[in-house]
Structure 1
Amino acid sequence: MLSAKSLFQEILDNDESFALFCSIAASGESQGGWENARIAALVPRSERDLAPKITRHGADEDKHGRIFTALMRKRGLAPVPVPPETDYTMLLEKHGIGLAHARLTQDEPLTVREIVTYLAHSRVTEQRASEQMELLRKHFADHPGIGRAVRMISDDEDNHLAYCHEELLRLAYAGHGRDIQRTLRECALAEIRIYRDVSLAVMDHMGRILGWPKPKSAVLAAGIHAVYAYERLVGWRRMVTLRAPERRDALGGPATTAPEFA
């Protein structure tokens, strides 16, 4: 029987598929770390209180990249090249979601509108990250090899999502509500399409590595398309709603370290 747990267990048990999974994850986290560091450096004066939180966000992403690399190293594996069609972060940028790298390499301070774009993009992608890590936590929180990493990253992603809710609500109350809702909707509809495409690409690579029969690959692809159809119809709305988080000031302190991994 196909299940999320059995599929990931297959990926986990094979060195080649595990190296690809961790390399894709580490690459995306490292890119996120760089982006947040640059955004923190370019925060406009009117939003300077955000800078330490954005810095913390970036430090967490860098930490996650190191954790995924360390998980490979523990098994004697080296990172492998990330196929372009599986690069979620870069595909989002290519489709105009979030702040472009070309903008972040400039030294001109960001505008409040660009901060709204950054936070809306983060709110959508952190929703996805939080849900994915919650799924892994459900099945692998006590796994001797990856359990500690899964729990740590899951906690961080929940903090990131709470921070996005809190800061977007603050900006909405300051008069940016219309821009926030429009940007959230644009980001969500683009993200679900890119997530579908990346999921299909990742499953295609994993299927070749693990020797999945065509019927199994077809069932998995059909499942991915079904999830996209649901998200395109109604599921995207969970990514655009804003509510006061239970975790207040979730990124208000220093980043936690991971000495057991890094």
Structure 2
Amino acid sequence: MFSAKSLFQEILDNDEAFQLFCSIAASGEAQGGWENGRIAALVPESQRDLAPKITRHGADEDKHGRIFNALLRKRDLEPVEVPRETDYTMLLETHGIGLAHDKLRRDEPLTERDIVTYLSHSRVTEQRAADQMVMLRKSFGDHPDVGRAISMIAGDEDNHLAYCHEELLRLAAAGHGRLIQATLRETALAEIVIYRDVSLAVMGHMAAILRWPRAKSAVLMAAIRAMYLAERAGGWRRMVTLRMPERRNALGGTATTAPEFA
């Protein structure tokens, strides 16, 4: 029988699989960094106090991308092209989740409604990222090659999630509560579909690289579909609840720099 830890260990032990994994991760983080940078530049005057926090969020995402690329360099590997069907962040944008890139490329101030859309999108996707990092930190936090990177990224994701909770609650108190709940629900229900499809695509590529037996691949695909059904039945609600975090003003400082991993 296999577990999430054993599957990731297989990926970690194979250069081609690890190369694809890090390339997908680095690409997604780089896109997140760009999006946050543009949003920070276009924040409406009524929400200008958010700009430094959004900038910090983007800096963290850029840092994560550099970390994944450094992990590749450490093994003398280069980033590879990310298959379209595995590009989570691009597919979210293509399906209208979050703020459209066309809007972000224009030099026009965003609206408060846009900020609600951005924070709701971040609330959902940061929950997904935090959940993944909990698993990786538990299994590989003390790993000699990737443990330091995992621990740093996991800490940042905790900060991002806390920030989303706090800022959405602030906006809810300012009268945006119904819009926030509707946007969170719409975003979460769309995200779980995309996450399922991307997970199936990534596992398909890994199965080919690692030459998994058909039976093993079938079990993994079934597990991904079962997780989607559980999320569709109610698991998505963990992505839309809001509570004041213990860690307040989590993005109020300056971004930490990435240590040199290569």
Where do residues 1-262 of structure 1 align in structure 2 (5 Å cutoff)? 1-261=1-261
CA distance in 2, matches of 1:176, 1:110: 16
Give ranges in structure 2 of 5+ residues lacking alignment. Answer: none
The answer for unaligned runs of 5 or more in structure 1 is none
CA contact (8 A) 1:120 1:164 kept: yes
Per the normalisation by structure 1, the TM-score is 0.99
Secondary structure of 2:204's counterpart equals helix
RMSD: 0.6
Residues 15-34 of structure 1 show CA distances to partners (whole Å, capped at 9, x for unaligned) of 00000000000000000000
Measured in 2, the distance between the counterparts of 1:126 and 1:238 equals 12
> Identity rate of aligned residues, in percent?
79
CA distance in 1, matches of 2:135, 2:192: 18
CA contact (8 A) 1:34 1:58 kept: yes
> Match of 1:200, SS?
helix
Q: Does the CA-based 8 Å contact 2:86-2:201 persist in structure 1?
A: yes
Q: Is the 8 A contact 1:26 1:68 kept in 2?
A: yes
Where 1:188 maps in the other structure, the secondary structure is helix
CA distance in 1, matches of 2:204, 2:133: 21
Instruction: State the shift of 1:258 in Å.
Output: 1.1
CA displacement, residues 235-261 of structure 1 (integer Å, 9 cap, x when unaligned):
000000000001100000000001323
Once residues 56 and 10 of structure 2 are traced to their aligned partners in structure 1, the CA distance between those partners, rounded to angstroms, is 34
TM-score calculated relative to the size of structure 2: 0.99
Q: Distance in 2 between matches of 1:206 and 1:102?
A: 33
1:61 counterpart letter in structure 2? E
State how far apart, in whole Å, the 1-side matches of 2:253 and 2:174 are: 24
Specify the code of the residue in structure 2 equivalent to 1:76: D
Alignment-mate amino acid for residue 2 of structure 2: L
Supply the distance in 2 between the matched residues of 1:258 and 1:123 (Cα, whole angstroms): 24
Partner SS, residue 21 of structure 1: helix
- Is the 8 Å Cα contact of residues 66 and 261 (structure 1) preserved in structure 2? no
For each residue in 1:44-102, what CA deviation from the matched residue of structure 2 results, as whole angstroms up to 9, or x when unmatched?
00000000000000000000000000000000000011000000001001110000100
Residue pair 2:74, 2:261 contacting (<8 A) in 1 also: no
Asked if the contact 2:38/2:104 (under 8 Å) is kept, the reply is yes
- Cα contact 2:136–2:150 (8 A) shared by 1: yes
Q: Take 1:165 and 1:259, find their aligned partners in 2: how far apart are those partners? A: 28
State the one-letter code of the partner of 1:194: I
Q: SS state of the match for residue 9, structure 1?
A: helix
Question: What is the rounded CA distance, in whole Å, between the counterparts of 2:215 and 2:204 in structure 1?
Answer: 13
Decide whether the 8 Å contact of 2:70 with 2:260 is kept in 1: no
